[in-house]
Amino acid sequence: MTGDSRGSTPFAAQLLTYAKRMDIALAEEQAERLHRFWRFLRQENERHNLTAIVDDGEAVIKHFLDSLTVLLTTELEPGSRVVDVGSGAGFPGIPLAVVRPEADVFLVESTGKKADFLQRAKEQLGLDNVRVVHSRAEDAAHDPGYRERFDVAVARALAPLPVACEWCLPFVKVGGRFVAMRGAAGLEDLEAARGAMAILGAEAAEVRELDLPEGAGRRVLIVMQKVKPVGKEYPRRGGQARRKPLG
């Protein structure tokens, strides 16, 4: 029953309504499961300061609907491997894992308390398709088990885009995609990152601009296609990507 809000909690019903408005397929059971995740996150947030957003209505749009906009540009096929780099409190990775249970979603997070929260959230929700990787992206991307092993990488406002490219593109296999979720300045971000993209073997495949409901802000989804392998020196370790961005 896709997009049907009859009998749903108010949170789930609101999410279903907005998803339908944006042509994002979402089942009632999935919306309710996402509400369960939000309740757990809000509870844990009192101790661990995981998100500045605490209002249900704001979270529906700015966390959950925002996360699902990835599906407007990239369909996650059954069996695909997805990596959410710098997952933080689990966005967009956990909503994507709930809505696409046939995909394997890896959550890379360097902060211990956040990685611990993600592991407990996975267990609370019974998300067998989720794996939490407690590591810095620039270290995990050199691990042969993760390097160029993913069909899709996603990152939401991770860092300046040239830096995010260096951290994320090494995870993506040739022919795969990196979806960079940016704010209103996304087009400017793209121009600033073109040099880094060329060095890292990626090309811009699609740019999708959209406005979140209720005046919640402009989003720009930048989809990059990986066209050749990344040089073995990337990503640079020790914070070099931030100190000396590529490009």
Confirm whether 9 is domain-assigned.
Answer: no
Compute the C-alpha angle 49/186/84, nearest 5°.
50
Distances (CA, A) of 89 to 39, 86, 112: 13, 9, 12
Residue 7, pLDDT score: 57
Confirm whether 148 is domain-assigned.
Answer: yes
Contacts of 112 (CB under 8 A, 6+ apart): 134
Confirm whether 82 is domain-assigned.
Answer: yes
Cα–Cα dist 186/183, whole Å: 5
pTM summary value? 0.95
What are the residues facing 208 on neighbouring strands? Answer: 221
Residue 229, pLDDT score: 98
What are 152's two structure tokens?
Answer: 């899709």
Residue 8, pLDDT score: 77
Residue 215 sits in a domain of what CATH number?
Answer: 3.40.50.150
Mind listing the pLDDT tens digit of every residue in the chain (247 residues)?
Answer: 344 445 579 999 999 999 999 999 999 999 999 999 999 999 999 988 899 999 999 999 999 999 999 999 999 999 999 999 999 999 999 999 999 999 999 999 999 999 999 999 999 999 999 999 999 999 999 999 999 999 999 999 899 999 999 999 999 999 999 999 999 999 999 999 999 999 999 999 999 999 999 999 999 999 999 999 999 999 999 999 999 999 8
Under 8 Å between Cβ of 117 and 47: no
Under 8 Å between Cβ of 41 and 90: yes
Cα–Cα dist 50/42, whole Å: 8
Confirm whether 204 is domain-assigned.
Answer: yes
Name the residue range of residue 130's domain: 61-243
Confirm whether 10 is domain-assigned.
Answer: no
Confirm whether 186 is domain-assigned.
Answer: yes
In the chain, the number of structural domains is 1
DSSP code at position 64: I
Confirm whether 18 is domain-assigned.
Answer: no
Residue type (1 letter), 164: A
